[in-house]
Chain A
Amino acid sequence: MLGQEVTTAVEQFAQRRRSPLERLQHVLHAHPSISPLLVLIIAFVVFSSINPRFASPNSLSLVLQQVAVIGALAVGQTLVILTAGIDLSAGAVTILAMMLAAGLAEGGGLPGVVAVLIGIGVGVLAGLANGALVTRVGLPPFIVTLGTLSVFTAVALLYTKGQSVQATDLPGLLNWTGETFPVGDFRISVGVVLVGVLYLLVGFALANTAWGRHVYAVGDDKEAARLAGIRVDRVLLSVYLTAGAVYGLAAWILIGRAGAASPNAITDANLESITAVVIGGTSLFGGRGALVGTLLGALIVGFFRSGLSLAGVDDQYRVLAVGLLVLLAVTVDQWIRKVKA
C-alpha cells in the first residue's frame, strides 16, 4: 500500500508543470545544436548590420575558405571528444602529414596522387599511435596527445629543417584544393567542397550506423558499453584512426589554401578545432553532441574573425569573444546535462 502511494507521488512529480526555464533545458537537451544555430544567426545579423560588406558573397566565400581547414580538423576532434577524449595532436598530425607529403613530392619526386595518399597514410599511422597508447597502454587521451603533439611537431621540424615547400615546386594535385570556381555570386574552393563531403560522410556514419551508436555509447559510459557487448577498445581505436585520416585530408586542404607547405602553419589549429567542437554543443564529457553542431561552431569562429575584422576592431576582441563563447558553451552544456525526467 505504501509502495502504491509512493508510485503515485512519483507519477505526480513526473506530471508537474514545467517552468519555461525547465522547458528550455529540455529542448536544448533534446536538440543541442539549437544554441550554436542561434549564436550563428545572431552573429550574422549583428556583423552585417555593423558592416554590410560582411554579408556580401565575396566575404562569405572567404569565410568558408578560411574555416575549411579548422572545419576539417574539427571533424576528427568531434569523434575523439564524443568518446570522452581530447586530441591535442590534431594540428601536429596535420603538419607532419603535410610536410612529409610535400617533402616527398617536391620537384616531381612523386606523383600527386601518391603524395595525397601518403599524407592520409601518415595521418592514419599517427592515429594508430594515439589509439594504441590510449587503448593498449591505457593512458588518458589528454596525456597521450600532449606527448604526441610534441613528438609529431619535432619530427616535422627535423624532417624539413624548418624549411617550407612552395606550391610551385609541388605537383598540381596537391594545390588543387585551393582552386576556386564560381557558384552564383560565391566562389567555392575545392577544399571547401571536400570538407562538405567529409561532414556528410562522417555525419551519416555517426547518425545512421551501428558504429556511430557505439561511439556515443563508449563516450557515455565505457563500462556499460562493455557490458552491453561493445568492443570498447576497437571502437576507440577506430575513432583515432578515422581522426588521423581526417587530419591527413586536412593537410591536403591546407596546402591548397596556404599555397605552400610550411611547418609553422596553423599554430592555433588545435585550440580552434576544440573551440569549434565545444561551441557546437558537443560535451567534453563525451557521449553527447552532433557533427552538425561542430559545423555551426566552425562557422561561428569564422564569422567572428571576419565580422570583427570588418568592424575594424583589434583582433584581440575576437580572441576575447571566442573565449567567452567557449565558457558560455561549456556552462550551457553543464546545465543541460542536469536535465530531470
Chain B
Amino acid sequence: MTTTTPVLSARGLVKTYGKVVGLDGVDLDLFPGEVLAIIGDNGAGKSTLIKCLTGAVEPDAGEIRLDGAPVHFRRPQDARKAGIETVYQTLAVAPALDIAANLYLGRERHRPGPLGSVLRMIDKKGMRRDAEKALTDLGIGTLQNMSQAVETLSGGQRQAVAVARAAAFGSKVIVLDEPTAALGVRESQQVLRMIDQVRSRGLPVILISHNMPHVFEVADRIHIQRLGRGAGVITPRSHTMPEAVAIMTGATTLTETPGQT
C-alpha cells in the first residue's frame, strides 16, 4: 500500500474566508480503487476540502497532485477535464433546465454532420436517450421523463440526477458531498450500490457523509476532519462507530484511541 502512488493527494491545504478558517493545513491521500470517506461535524471543513480538490475554490496554500504530478485547478472544468467528477453539497443543477440538459450541462454533445459542426446544433434526442440510460443504470426508475424541469423534482430526485451525472462522466475520481442527505432508504441503498460499482470499475471515490452506518458499510478508509484540520485516518476495522464519533467530536484523539491494527 505504501508504495502505491495516490491517485489524488493533497498536502498542507489552507483556505480562509476572511477571518474564518475553512482549512488549516490538511493532508489527504486517495489510493486507486478505494472509497475514502470524510466525516466531521458541521463546519469542520469537509466541503471546503473537496472544493479545493475539485477546482471549485482555489486554496490559499498547499499542493495537490494527480497521479503524482502537481496540478493546479483554477476552475471546476479543469478538474472535470482531468476526469474528476463531483456532486457538490448544493448539487449545482440548473433548476429550469430539464434532466437531460442538466446531465450534459457544460459538455453538450453536438449532432453528427454539418448540423453539428457548422450550425453547432446539440444532439437533444441522443442526450435524452443516454440520460435515460444513465439513470436506469443507476437503478433510478422513478424518473421517466427526461424533459422534465429539474425544479419540479423532489430533493431526492434532484440528488439522483446529480449523482448520475458524476457516475456517468467520472473517469478518474468521483467525489460525492453528502449524496444521500435527501434520499429515501431505497434510493440511499442505490447510491451506496453505485459507489460499490464504481469502486469495482477501479475508480476511487471520496464520500462525505454524516451517516455513520453508510460510511462504515461502504468506506475502505475514513478521513476525520475536525475544526478545519485532519484529525486522523481510520478504517471500519480499526475503529468502531462510537470511537469514530468520539474522535470527530474531540472527546478523544487518534493517539489516545489508536484502535485495532
In the complex, chain A residues 186-231 whose Cβ is within 8 Å of any chain B Cβ: 204, 208-211, 213-214, 216-217, 220-221, 223-231
Query: Known: A227-B88, A227-B92, A229-B107. Is A4-B76 also a contact (CB below 8 A)?
Result: no
Tell whether A18 is near chain B: CB-to-CB under 8 Å.
no
User: By the criterion CB–CB under 8 Å, are B184 and A228 in contact?
Assistant: no
Tell whether B77 is near chain A: CB-to-CB under 8 Å.
yes
- Minimum CB–CB distance for A27 against chain B, Å: 13
In the complex, chain B residues 71-89 whose Cβ is within 8 Å of any chain A Cβ: 75-77, 80, 86, 88
Q: How many A-B residue pairs have CB under 8 A?
A: 98
User: By the criterion CB–CB under 8 Å, are B184 and A221 in contact?
Assistant: no
**Cα distance, A230 to B77, chains bound together (Å):** 7
A-B pairs, top 7 by smallest CB distance, nearest first, are A229-B106, A3-B185, A229-B77, A227-B92, A210-B108, A217-B94, A7-B184
Tell me which of A14, A221, A226, A229 contacts B95 (CB under 8 A).
A221
User: By the criterion CB–CB under 8 Å, are B122 and A224 in contact?
Assistant: no
Tell me which of B76, B77, B101 contacts A213 (CB under 8 A).
B101
Query: Known: A7-B186, A226-B76. Is A217-B152 also a contact (CB below 8 A)?
Result: no
Contacts of A226 in B (CB 8 A): 56, 75-76
The tally of residues in A whose CB lies under 8 Å from a CB in B reads: 33
Contacts of B91 in A (CB 8 A): 224
**Cα distance, A288 to B152, chains bound together (Å):** 14
Tell whether B11 is near chain A: CB-to-CB under 8 Å.
no
Instruction: Choose among A3, A226, A227, A288 the residue with the greatest number of B CB atoms under 10 Å from its CB.
Output: A227
The chain B residue sitting closest to A6, CB to CB, is B184
19 A-B residue pairings within 8 Å (CB atoms): A7-B185, A10-B184, A209-B120, A210-B108, A221-B93, A221-B94, A225-B94, A227-B92, A228-B94, A228-B102, A228-B105, A229-B77, A229-B106, A229-B107, A230-B106, A231-B75, A231-B77, A341-B153, A341-B157
The chain B residue sitting closest to A230, CB to CB, is B106
User: By the criterion CB–CB under 8 Å, are B107 and A213 in contact?
Assistant: no
Contacts of A229 in B (CB 8 A): 75-77, 80, 105-107
Classify the secondary structure of B's interface with A.
loop
- Minimum CB–CB distance for A287 against chain B, Å: 5
Tell whether A257 is near chain B: CB-to-CB under 8 Å.
no
Tell me which of A6, A29, A209, A220 contacts B97 (CB under 8 A).
A220
**Cα distance, A228 to B208, chains bound together (Å):** 19
- Minimum CB–CB distance for B55 against chain A, Å: 9
User: By the criterion CB–CB under 8 Å, are A340 and B95 in contact?
Assistant: no
Tell whether A328 is near chain B: CB-to-CB under 8 Å.
no
**Cα distance, A228 to B169, chains bound together (Å):** 12
Q: Mark B179-199, 1 if CB is under 8 A from A, else 0.
A: 000001110000000000000
User: By the criterion CB–CB under 8 Å, are A220 and B96 in contact?
Assistant: yes
Contacts of B121 in A (CB 8 A): 208-209
Tell me which of A4, A29, A341 contacts B186 (CB under 8 A).
A4
Chain B interface residue number, banded: 35 or more
Query: Known: A208-B121, A210-B120, A229-B76. Is A224-B94 also a contact (CB below 8 A)?
Result: yes
Tell me which of A204, A228, A230, A288 contacts B96 (CB under 8 A).
A288
User: By the criterion CB–CB under 8 Å, are A287 and B122 in contact?
Assistant: no
- Minimum CB–CB distance for B146 against chain A, Å: 14
Contacts of B110 in A (CB 8 A): 210
Q: Mark B160-188, 1 if CB is under 8 A from A, else 0.
A: 00000000000000000000000011100
Instruction: Choose among B86, B110, B124, B185 the residue with the greatest number of A CB atoms under 10 Å from its CB.
Output: B185
User: By the criterion CB–CB under 8 Å, are B94 and A216 in contact?
Assistant: yes
The chain B residue sitting closest to A204, CB to CB, is B119
Contacts of A10 in B (CB 8 A): 154, 184
Q: Mark A102-129, 1 if CB is under 8 A from B, else 0.
A: 0000000000000000000000000000
Contacts of A208 in B (CB 8 A): 119-122, 124
**Cα distance, A221 to B150, chains bound together (Å):** 13
**Cα distance, A216 to B88, chains bound together (Å):** 20
Q: Mark B138-154, 1 if CB is under 8 A from A, else 0.
A: 00000000000101111
Contacts of B151 in A (CB 8 A): 339
User: By the criterion CB–CB under 8 Å, are B152 and A213 in contact?
Assistant: no
Tell whether B90 is near chain A: CB-to-CB under 8 Å.
yes
Contacts of B107 in A (CB 8 A): 229
User: By the criterion CB–CB under 8 Å, are B80 and A213 in contact?
Assistant: no
**Cα distance, A287 to B151, chains bound together (Å):** 12
Tell me which of A4, A210, A214, A216 contacts B185 (CB under 8 A).
A4
The chain B residue sitting closest to A285, CB to CB, is B96
Contacts of A287 in B (CB 8 A): 94-96
Contacts of B157 in A (CB 8 A): 341
Known: A4-B185, A213-B101, A229-B75. 18 other contacts (CB 8 A): A3-B184, A4-B184, A29-B149, A30-B149, A204-B119, A208-B124, A213-B105, A214-B106, A220-B96, A221-B93, A224-B90, A226-B75, A228-B92, A228-B102, A229-B80, A231-B77, A287-B94, A341-B157
